[in-house]
Chains A and B, each alone.
Chain A
Amino acid sequence: GENVEQHPSTLSVQEGDSAVIKCTYSDSASNYFPWYKQELGKGPQLIIDIRSNVGEKKDQRIAVTLNKTAKHFSLHITETQPEDSAVYFCAASDTGTASKLTFGTGTRLQVTL
């Protein structure tokens, strides 16, 4: 089955700096890669996703890149703000099968003033 590794487990950045979270996956059949943000006491919220036919996707301050050859994908947050502080999860799935997601173990991002 799929295995997703996520690094780092914690990340502290100063407000205004960029943050990068990286994930690797094992199953070359995986073709869908979402990212979730989880704030304290809440459920995960889908913030951006990318499919394997695209190498990069941006949404305002958030971007995701995908390297299919190396089987890794990354979340980039620019101009970080205190409200970006949360736990971020990556995930991967093969939408051609049962579309079951395999999640990474999460990155706790803290944006300091």
Chain B
Amino acid sequence: DADVTQTPRNRITKTGKRIMLECSQTKGHDRMYWYRQDPGLGLQLIYYSFDVKDINKGEISDGYSVSRQAQAKFSLSLESAIPNQTALYFCALHYEQYFGPGTRLTVT
């Protein structure tokens, strides 16, 4: 959905590096989410935010942090990347009605 933009779309990084994934939206929704997708495991919730001042941990938040810079922007950071964080990462909006195109992250 072009209303949800994720950058970068692909990223290869090394163990121990800090990396930020960005999500921006033009739909004006308050609720934003970060999900991780691994083959055979479906999607798992990392963090979610119901408005700019509200940040909540999901089921797999360890090793991740987030920042809600504005209603339209929600960033996910890996403070010190490790290989088992290699996955597809998706940003979602508004009760998960809209998903971004995803970021494929590889940690070597």
Which chain B residues have a beta carbon within 8 Å of chain A's beta carbons? 1, 4, 40-45, 48, 56, 58-59, 90, 92, 95-102
Contact = CB atoms under 8 A, between A and B. Distances in A.
Contact of B97 (A6, A46, A103): A46
A98 B48 CA distance: 10
A44 interface: yes
A98 B56 CA distance: 10
B101 A89 contact: no
- Tell me what chain A mostly uses at the interface: helix, strand, loop, or mixed: loop
Given A43-B4, A101-B96, A104-B42, 18 more contacts: A4-B42, A34-B96, A42-B102, A43-B1, A43-B92, A43-B100, A44-B90, A46-B98, A89-B42, A91-B96, A99-B95, A100-B45, A100-B58, A101-B45, A103-B43, A105-B40, A105-B42, A106-B40
Contacts of A46: 96-98
24 contacts: A1-B59, A9-B40, A34-B96, A42-B101, A43-B1, A43-B4, A43-B90, A43-B100, A43-B102, A44-B43, A44-B90, A44-B99, A45-B99, A46-B96, A46-B97, A89-B43, A98-B48, A99-B95, A100-B48, A101-B45, A103-B43, A103-B44, A105-B40, A105-B41
